[in-house]
Amino acid sequence: MHIDQIIKEKVAEAIQALYAQQVETDSVQVQNTRKDVEGDMTIVVFPFLRFSKQSPEQTATQLGEYLKENVDLVEDFSVIKGFLNLTISKQYWLSVLGAAFLDPEFGFQKASEESPLVMVEYSSPNTNKPLHLGHIRNNLLGFSIGEIIKANGNRLVKTNIVNDRGIHICKSMYAWKQWGEGKTPESTGIKGDHLVGDFYVLFDKRYKAEVEELVGQGMSKEEAEQQAPSIIAAREMLRKWEAKDPEVIKLWEMMNQWVYDGFDVTYKELGVDFDKIYYESDTYLVGKEEVLRGLEEGVFYRRDDESVWADLTPEGLDEKILLRSDGTSVYMTQDIGTAKLRFNDYKIDKMVYVVGNEQNYHFQVLSVLLDKLGFDWGKGLYHFSYGMVELPHGKMKSREGTVVDADDLMAEMIEVARKTSEELGKLEGYTEEELAETYKTIALGALKYFMLKVDPKKNMLFNPEESIDFNGNTGPFIQYTYARIRSVIRKANDNGIELNEELSEEITLSDKEKELIKSLSLFPSVVKEAGDAYSPAVIANYIYALVKEFNQFYHDHSILGEQDDAVRNFRLVLSKAIANTVQTGMSLLGIKVPERM
C-alpha cells in the first residue's frame, strides 16, 4: 500500500480515537510536503475542525501527537498554521527502495483467471495503401494502452480490424489489371503494401485525367466524375466481388496478401502485435444480418428507395443510414458485425476502440445502435479518442506527396539517430551489428516517446530532429541515463563490489536521496493513474521527472568513489532500482532501453 493511503487510513483512525467521529478515508487530504518545509507528507486539517472544536494549530498538534505515538512509520511532525507536516521514518523509505530493487515488476498488479478481460482495438488499416504517420500514433497508443491495462491487473486481448473490401480496394485492383503489366513485389523489389498503394495513386491520376477530358467534351464536373470509364469499371469490379466472381476474388486475395506481408514487416519494425485480426470482408455480412433483424423487429426502418435507416433523434443524434438502396453496407454495418463477432469469440468485460477524434460521432452512434439491437454491452464500449499528428512542413519527403509513409519515417529516424550519435561520438568501439541495433533502438525510442509523452487527446506536431536530442524531455535522454546506470553497475561488478539488498539503517540520507526514493514510491500509483486515464503520457512524464532527478543526484553524489561501504551499497541499490523502474516504465510505452550507449 502506498504511503498516501497508509496515512489516510491512520488519520481516519486518529479522528475516531480523538473525537469519536468517522471520516471517509478518501476525504483525508494528503500531499507531498513543500520543498522549503521540513517533513515528507502534509495533511490539511481544516476539514477536521468541526470535530475537534479547536483551532487549526491545536487540532494539527493533537493529530500529530497521536500519529507519532501510534504509527511506527511516523517519526516526527511539525505544525504550520492548519497544516500538519509528518516526517516519515528512514526505515519505511528503505523498505520501499528494497521492494523496487528486488521486484522486477514493482508497480504492476498481476492478473488472475478471474481478472477482467479487456479488448483493445487499434491500427485498423485499409488494404489499398501502406501505413502512414497517423497509423504510427494509433499503433503506438493502442499498444501502450494495452500494456498499461495489463500492468493494472487485467487480462488483455489486442485486436485489429482490417478494411479489406470496398471501392477503394477495387481501384487498386483495377489499376493493376489495366496498367500493372503483371508486376509483383518479387519482380519489382517493392514492398507489397507500397506496390498496391502505387496502383491506388495511379488509379487516381488516370481517373482525374478522364474527368478532365470529359469536362472538356462538355460534361459537368459532377457528371464526369460519375461517367469516367475507370470509376465505372471499379464499381463493376466491386459488384463482381460481392457476387463472389472467381476471377475478381482471386485477384483480390493475391493483392491483399501482398499488403498483409508488407504490413507484417512494418508492425514488426514498429514493435507492435495483435492477438486476433478481424477482416471487414468477414464481419460486414454479420452486421448486415443484424441490421435486417433490427428492421424486422421495428428497431430500424426502410425508406422508399429501399435503404435502411436508424432514427436516433430521440437520443439527440441524427438519422443514420445502415444499408444503401442497393443493399450494400456502410462502415457502421461492419462495426456492428465486428462487435458481435468479438463478443462471441471472447468473454470481454471492456472494449476499447483506439480511433482518432474525427470518429467521435461514429462511436456515439455505434454504442446506441448496439444497445437498440439488444446487446447489453453496447453502452459499455469505450472510444479512446486521440488527436491528429503532423510533421513540420518539408521535413520529410512522402511517397504520395500528401501522406507520410510509416516505413519512410522509421528509416529516416534511424538515419537521424546515426548522424546524431556519430556527431556526439557516443558509440565508439561498437561492431557494425551493434551500431545498427543501437541506432534502431534510439530511433524508435525517440519516435515512440515523442508521440506518447503528449496528452493523447491533443493534436501534435512531430519533429524528428527534436525527438532525437540527447538532452531534455526525449526518449534518447532517458535511454542514455539508463545506459549510464548500467555502466556504473557493470563497473561495480568488475571491481568485485556486490549489491546487497540488506540496507544499513545507520546511514544518513541526503535530501536528494530521500526525494529519489519518494519518487520511486510513486510508481505504482502512476501506473494506476495511467490506467484510469488511458494515458501513456502519465507514464512518460513520470519517467522523465525520475531520470532528471537521478541525474542531479549523480552529479552531486559519488557512487563508486564513496569510501563508506554501506553508503556506496545504498547508492548502488538506489541506482539499480531507478534503472529497473525506468526499464519497466519504458516497456509500458513499448520502448527498449540499451545496456550501453
Q: What is the pLDDT of residues 259-294, one digit of tens each?
A: 999 999 999 999 999 999 999 999 999 999 999 999
Give the residue-averaged pLDDT of 464-484: 91
- Which residues have a Cβ under 8 Å from the Cβ of 401 and sit 6 or more positions away? none
Tell me, what's the pLDDT at 469? 85
- Residue 493: is its pLDDT beyond 60? yes
Tell me, what's the pLDDT at 404? 83
Tell me, what's the pLDDT at 401? 52
Q: Is 53 left (phi over 0), alpha (psi -120 to 50) or beta?
A: left
Tell me, what's the pLDDT at 379? 83
DSSP assignment string, 537-594: HHHHHHHHHHHHHHHHHHHHS-STT-S-HHHHHHHHHHHHHHHHHHHHHHHTTT----
Q: 118-141 b/e with 16+ CB inside 10 Å = b? A: bbbbbbbbbbbbbbbbbbbbbbbb
Percent of the chain with pLDDT over 90: 83
Tell me, what's the pLDDT at 399? 44
Count Cβ atoms below 10 Å from residue 299 Cβ, excluding itself.
16
Mean of pLDDT over the chain: 93
- Residue 1: is its pLDDT beyond 80? no
Tell me, what's the pLDDT at 526? 96
More confident of the two residues 425 and 75: 75
> pLDDT tens, 95-119?
999 999 999 899 999 999 999 999 9
Domains in the chain (CATH in brackets) are: 3-88 (3.30.1360.70), 164-273 (no CATH), 406-589 (1.10.730.10)
CA-based nearest residue to 324, from 207, 235, 232, 247: 235
Q: Which residue has the cell 487540532?
A: 59
CA-based nearest residue to 41, from 14, 94, 2, 15: 2
Give the residue-averaged pLDDT of 495-505: 89
- Residue 329: is its pLDDT beyond 90? no
- Which residues have a Cβ under 8 Å from the Cβ of 2 and sit 6 or more positions away? 521, 522, 524, 525
- Residue 423: is its pLDDT beyond 90? no
CB 247 within 8 A of CB 241: no
Tell me, what's the pLDDT at 402? 61
More confident of the two residues 492 and 402: 492
Query: 56-70, 108-122, 393-407: which has the minimum mean pLDDT?
Result: 393-407
Distance of alpha carbon 112 from alpha carbon 103, whole angstroms: 18
> pLDDT tens, 38-59?
999 999 999 999 999 999 999 9
More confident of the two residues 438 and 398: 438
Tell me, what's the pLDDT at 390? 82
> pLDDT tens, 294-315?
999 999 999 999 999 999 999 9
CA separation, residue 515 to residues 322, 397, 511 (Å): 58, 46, 6
Q: What is the 3-state secondary structure (H, E, C) of 124-169?
A: CCECCCCCEHHHHHHHHHHHHHHHHHHHECCEEEEEEEEECCCHHH
Count Cβ atoms below 10 Å from residue 10 Cβ, excluding itself.
21
- Residue 396: is its pLDDT beyond 90? no
Query: 182-191, 412-421, 586-595: which has the minimum mean pLDDT?
Result: 412-421
Exposure on the CB side of residue 438, measured as CA atoms within 13 A: 23
SS3 for 387? coil
* Residue 398: band (very low, low, confident or very high) from pLDDT cuts 50, 70, 90: very low
pTM of the model: 0.91
